[in-house]
Chain A
Amino acid sequence: MTLTPVITEHWDAPDLYTIEGYRRFGGYRALESALKQDPDAIITTIKDSGLRGRGGAGFPTGLKWSFVPQNDGKQHYLVVNADESEPGACKDIPIMMANPHALVEGVIISSFAIRANHAFIYIRGEVPNALRKVANAVAEARRAGYLGTNVLGSGFDIDIVVHAGAGAYICGEETALLDSLEGFRGQPRLKPPFPAVAGLYASPTVINNVETICNIPYIIDRGLDWFRQFGTEKSPGFKVWAVSGHVNNPGIFEAPLGITMRQLLEYAGGVRGGGNVKFWLPGGSSVPLLTAEHLDLPLTYEEMAAAGTMLGTGTPMIFDDTVSVVKAVTRWLEFYKHESCGKCTPCREGTYWITGMLETFEHGHGRESDLELLVSACNQIAGRSFCALGDAAATPYPAALKYFRDEFVAATHTPVDDTFDPVASYIHAGAAAR
C-alpha cells in the first residue's frame, strides 16, 4: 500500500499555516460548497463516508452527529478534542502546527452541519506552538469572513474559541474535557446524559478529535467515492500515522487504513541498526502491545480488535530488543497513576497499588506470586472504573505478561537495568556520555 498524503500533502509549503498558503491549495473551497448545502445533507454525507473518529475509539462520526437533536431551540456546540496526551499519540499536534486551517475549515463545516454557532478547540496547554498556530488561523479566518456573523452571506453565524488546557491527560476523555472547559476539575461525568443530548453547558454537543475534523473538508470537497476508495469497508479513509520509537526515520506518514505495520516500518526506514521489533503498539499506551508476529496485520479497527488489541490513535510505537518490557510497562503505569483523576476508587487506588508492585519488579525484587496478583488487580480495575482511563491503566501489564512472562520472572531477582543496559535503548548512540 502506498503513502497517500492528503492532510499532509502540502506540509512542505512554508506558508501552509497561513490563510493564503492554505487557499492556494484549494483551502476553504469545501466551506463554500458546504454552506450551499442543507446541513442534514452534510450529516448524511459524513455518515455515508463511514468516517470513524480518530481520537481512539473509532466511533462513526456521522452517526455521532445525527444524535444531536435538531430543532430543539437550544444552542448546540462543537468541541474539538485537541488534548492529545496519550503516550505515543503525536499526530494532532503536528497537524495543528502544520495545517491549522484544515482544522478551522473542518470546524466551520461541522458546526454548520450540527447547527452549532459556537465551537471550541481545546488544546492541551503544554504545546503553545500548536495553540498559537490555531489561534492565528482562527484570527485569519475571522478577518477573511469565514467566521463571525453571516459567514459568506449564508446567514450562518459561527465563532471559535481556542482554549488552552493546563496539564491533565484525563481531559482527553470527552466528558472530563467538558468539565474542564466549563472551568471545573477535569473529572469525567456520569453518562447518561450523553454529550449529544446534554454536553457543554448541558446543551447538545459534539466532541471530535482534531484529525477527524480535518477529514471533513476533504470529504466535502472531493466526495464520498473518493474517500471510500481508501481503507476498508469498515475502516474507510486514510490516516495520519505517527511512527515513533526504534526506527531509523520516525515521523508522520499518511496512508490508507489497512496498511500494515511492516509497510509503515519500511517507510520509516526500518528498525534502527537493522535490529528486531521486540514489541509495538498500534495506537498509544492504552492498547495492548503486539509483537513481531503481528507486523503483517492490516491496521484497521476490525483487524486490530481481532488480534486482541485496538487501533487506538493510529500512532505506532516500536521498541527493539534493547528495551525491557518490565520497565516500559512500569513507566506507563506511573503515567496512569499520575494522571488518574481521583474520582473513582478502582482507578485511583488500583493504579497506586499496581504501580508500586511493578516498581518492585523494576528493581529486581518482585515476588513471583505478585505476577498473578497484578493480573487480579488489573481485573479489578478493568470494566469497573468510572471511565476508560482505568481500563487503559489495566491494559499494559496483562498484554506484556502474555508475551514476556520470562522477563517478569527474571525481575524477581535481577534489576531490569542489569538485564537491559539502559544506554543500549537510547536512540542516540553514546548519548549518556556527554
Chain B
Amino acid sequence: MTISDQTLERMRELASRYPQPRSALLPMLHLVQSVDGEVTTDGINACAEVLGISPAEVTGVSTFYTMYKRKPVGEHHIGVCVNTLCGLLGGDAVYDALSERLGVGHNEPTADGKFSLERIECQAACTHAPVMTVDWEFIDDVTPAAAVDVVDRLERGEQVLSTRGPAIRTFQATEHTLAFPDDGLAGEGTSVDDKMLAGLRYAKEHNMSAPAHGQEA
C-alpha cells in the first residue's frame, strides 16, 4: 500500500473543502502523483474509497486529463510547447535538442529516472515563446542551448530558477502544490518580467495612462 494513512487523511481534508466531496477528485489525483510520482492503482482505489465512487469512475477521470501520468515520470518533468506559436518560433528545435540530450521521446523517462520529456500544448505564455516548463514552472523564451543548459544544471544538482516563479523543485513537489496551492512560495522568484511589463513601460515612457476616476473626458 503506497497510500499512507496520512495521505488518506489529506485526501479527506481536500474532500471537505467542497460542498460535494467528489469535487476534490482532481486535487486528490494530484496528491496521489505527489506521493507516488504517477497515478497508481493504489491511488485510484484510495480516491474511490474516500469519495465512495467506483475505481472505474476514478480511472475514467484520471485518463481524461493529460497531467495525470500512468507510468512514472522523471524526478523532473520537462515540457516543451510545440503548439503553433511556440513550436514555429523555436519550440520544435528546443524539443529536438532536449530529446537528443536526454535520449528520450515524448512522454518517456530517462533510464536513470531523473528526467522525462513531453511535447505539451499551449501554456498561456505565447508572449514568452518559445517556452518550456520544468515541473510545470516556466522557463520562458528559451533556446535549444539554454534548454540543454537547464538540464545540465539540474543534473549537476545546481539550483535552477524558473523565469517566472520559484526555484525548480521536483515533479512531485509541484504536484503537491497543485493539490494544496498555498505552498508558501508565492514570494519566491520573479513573476512579473519584462514582457509582462512591455505595455506599462511603453506607456510610462510615452506618458500614456488611463484617465483617473473623475477625469473622464
Cross-chain contact A6 with B137 (CB below 8 angstroms): no
The interface size of chain B toward A, counting residues with CB under 8 Å, comes to 89
CB atoms of B199 and A251 under 8 A apart: yes
Which residues of the other chain, B, contact A182 by a CB distance below 8 angstroms?
A: 20, 22-23
Min Cβ gap A85→B in Å is: 6
Tell me the complex Cα distance, A413–B97, Å: 29
Cβ-defined contact, B124 with A17, below 8 A: no
The distance from the CB of B164 to the nearest CB of chain A, in whole angstroms, is 6
Q: Which A residue's beta carbon lies closest to that of B67?
A: A167
Task: Give 18 A-B pairs besides A8-B199, A16-B192, A125-B26 with Cβ atoms closer than 8 angstroms.
Answer: A3-B203, A12-B192, A17-B187, A88-B122, A89-B124, A94-B192, A164-B26, A164-B181, A185-B60, A186-B65, A242-B127, A249-B195, A252-B199, A328-B84, A331-B87, A332-B84, A338-B121, A427-B130
Q: Which of B23, B30, B182, B197 contacts A132 (CB 8 A)?
A: B182
Asked if A92 and B65 make an inter-chain contact with CB atoms under 8 angstroms apart, the answer reads no
Considering only CB atoms, which chain B residue lies closest to A317 in the complex? B85
Q: Least Cβ distance of B74 to chain A in Å?
A: 17
27 contacts between A and B (CB under 8 A): A2-B206, A6-B210, A12-B192, A12-B201, A18-B187, A85-B121, A85-B124, A90-B124, A90-B128, A129-B162, A132-B177, A136-B182, A165-B65, A166-B29, A167-B68, A182-B20, A182-B23, A183-B24, A183-B26, A183-B61, A226-B213, A250-B127, A251-B195, A252-B195, A267-B198, A335-B83, A434-B97
Contact of A164 among B27, B202, B211, B214 (CB under 8 A): B27
Q: Which residue of B lies closest to A15 (CB)?
A: B187
Docked complex Cα distance between A315 and B187 (Å): 28
State the CA gap A328–B23 with chains docked (Å): 37
Chain B residues near A338 (CB-CB < 8 A): 121
Partner of B19 from the list A98, A201, A229, A426 (CB cut-off 8 Å) is A201
Choose from B20, B90, B174 the contact partner of A431 (Cβ within 8 Å).
Answer: B90
Q: Does A86 contact B (CB under 8 A)?
A: yes
Tell me, yes or no, whether B111 is within 8 Å of chain A by CB.
no
Chain A CB within 10 Å, residue with most, of B25, B87, B179, B200: B200
Contact with B along A109-124 (1 / 0, CB 8 A): 0000000001000001
In this complex, what residue of B is CB-closest to A82? B124
Is A118's CB under 8 angstroms from B144's CB? no
| List of 4 A-B pairs having minimum Cβ-Cβ separation, nearest first | A251-B198, A253-B199, A183-B25, A136-B186
> Hey, what's the 0/1 contact readout for A218-261 against B, CB within 8 Å counting as 1?
00011101100110000000100111111001111111000000
Q: Is A84 an interface residue (CB 8 A)?
A: yes
Tell me if B102 is interfacial: C-beta within 8 Å of chain A: no
Decide yes or no whether A80 CB sits under 8 A from chain B: no
Q: Which residues of A contact B217 (CB under 8 A)?
A: 229
Interface residues, chain A, CB within 8 Å of chain B? 2-6, 8-9, 11-12, 14, 16-18, 75, 84-90, 92-94, 97-98, 118, 124-129, 131-139, 161-169, 180-186, 201, 221-223, 225-226, 229-230, 238, 241-246, 249-255, 267-268, 285, 315, 317, 319, 323, 327-328, 331-332, 335, 338-339, 341, 422-423, 425-428, 431-432, 434
Shortest Cβ distance from A352 into chain B, in angstroms? 17
Most buried by A among B26, B144, B182: B26
* Contact B84–A331 (Cβ < 8 Å): yes
Minimal beta-carbon separation of A333 from chain B (angstroms): 10
B4 at the interface (CB under 8 A from A): no
Q: Report chain B residues within 8 Å CB of A9.
A: 200, 209-210
Cβ of B200 and Cβ of A8 under 8 Å apart? yes
Cβ–Cβ contact A252 & B196, under 8 A: yes
Known: A8-B200, A166-B68. A161 touches B17 (CB 8 A): yes
**Is the beta-carbon distance between B210 and A238 smaller than 8 angstroms?**
yes
Contact A226:B84 (CB < 8 A) given known A90-B126, A125-B30, A135-B182: no
Q: How far is the CA of A275 from the CA of B103 in the complex (A)?
A: 37
B137/A129 in contact, CB under 8 A: yes
**Complex Cα gap A95–B195 (Å):** 13
B124 in complex: contacting residue of A127, A186, A250, A255, CB < 8 Å: A127
**Contact present for B216 and A226 (CB under 8 Å):** yes
Choose from A131, A167, A253 the contact partner of B181 (Cβ within 8 Å): A131
Q: Which residue of B lies closest to A246 (CB)?
A: B89
Judge whether B213 and A434 touch: CB under 8 Å. Answer: no
> Nearest A residue to B51 by beta-carbon distance?
A183
CB pair B126 A245 closer than 8 Å: yes
CA distance A54 to B184 in the complex (A): 30
Query: Which residues of chain B from 125 to 141 have a CB within 8 Å of any chain A CB?
Result: 125-130, 133, 136-138
**B216 touching A225 by the CB < 8 A rule?**
yes
Instruction: Give the docked Cα–Cα distance between A17 and B186 (Å).
Output: 8
Could you tell me the distance in whole angstroms from the C-beta of A119 to the nearest C-beta in chain B? 12
Q: A3 to B192, Cβ gap below 8 A?
A: no
Residue B165 contacts which of A128, A134, A180, A267 (CB distance < 8 angstroms)?
Answer: A128
